[in-house]
Structure 1
Amino acid sequence: MNTQAWLNTAWLSANADLIADLAWRHLQIALPVLLAVGLLAIPIGYLAHKAGLNSRWKPARTGIIMASGILYGIPSLALFVVLPVILGTSILSPLNVIIALILYGLALQVRVVAEAFDGIDAAPNLAAQAVGYAPAQLFWSVQLPMAAPAIITGMRVVTASTISLISVGALIGVSTLGDLITSGFQRSFPTQILAGIVGIVALAAVLDALWILLARLLLPWKRVAYV
């Protein structure tokens, strides 16, 4: 890398609109991924939890957890390239990145959700059943609120991982903040690399702060854990 200054403020000022546009594109990929993972991981993880309570179905839980681990071990770039062949989409389509990152997010979050339900104290469950709670009422009123702190913590990890992995999409032509990093390396221009890195970290920090805010609003009894 040559001796260019790491911080070229003139370039940053001239390209502020470009950086903002790439940040928005980055966010447009992240939001549907996080929404899908948040909605899908809870029922899948809960089913894995229930399977673990029954010796007959325990192998199903083991299979779900093992499959999650194997899936997360697949290199992201390889998955981005293979998915268009499977889905019949253009290799430049952001849909490939979105689906791949949903799979990665589920690979992380399903296990977290299953273990969150595993860790629920039996006493509240028994008390709710004793006063006549139906299974659905027990889930929504007792089990899910008690598992929620661990689930939200897991989503914070998924969010950081997702924001980071989205940048890899730049290598297959999907425009994100990763474009700044790859282009910066190609041009030996540190300011552009730094802009991409700082932008990615800033997006991750903002979304993490939103998760903390959500936890404080929904789980006031756990507020100390989210300082």
Structure 2
Amino acid sequence: MKTDTADSHWDAEWAGIEAGSKWLTPEADVMAWADTLAPGARILDLGCGVGRHALWLAARGFDVVALDAAERGLAEIDRAGAVETVLARMDALPFEDHAFDHVLSWNVIYHGDEDVLLRTIAEIRRVLKPGGTFLGTMLSKRRLPYEQAKYAGREIGRNAWVFDAPGTDKVHPHYFCSAAELFALLSGFECLRLEDREHEKPGSWHWHFVAERLGVRP
């Protein structure tokens, strides 16, 4: 069964994006991370949406590729220009090994079951140069009881849930994990920073992490 289906929700969302939307504003964590990177580094923005991070990074001189499975988000980036866009699935990246110095994936890779997630992390590891960093987020298990209190839900596979929440992306599978489970998922990486943090709403817990791709640098 296909589980990485949330792009259908977001494709519709991007069609109606309005000026001032939070989805157009870069996250502070991304801006702080960018300050640690070498000028001109090649960055993959995996699950780029309408380009809030890709366009910001490109404006600061980074060599950015913006990838998403939602065509309408990529169309918004294409209208702005200055960033290469790629339509593809997150678990089948159309790039050569070690193609990027760094990878960013903000609120993206948890949209699917564990098989999709493991393939996606393996692909990120493959396209990332040894010593490169992966800035990402995941849903924390601490969030799950808050979702269960609001919506009827069912677990479709280990840690992967869908909810009866029409009009939201929660009708599509979402993966929730503990810190220990996240460390296990990040095989081939060394976790440099990890924090469980609420976003805008109470109970909206997300893991924020920076992980370094292990291996001998070329």
TM range (shorter): under 0.3
Q: Which of the pair has more CA radius of gyration?
A: 1
The answer to which structure, 1 or 2, has the higher relative contact order (CA under 8 A, 6+ apart) is 1
Q: Higher helix share goes to which structure?
A: 1
Using the size of structure 1 for normalisation, the TM-score is 0.22
Using the size of structure 2 for normalisation, the TM-score is 0.23
Q: Higher strand share goes to which structure?
A: 2
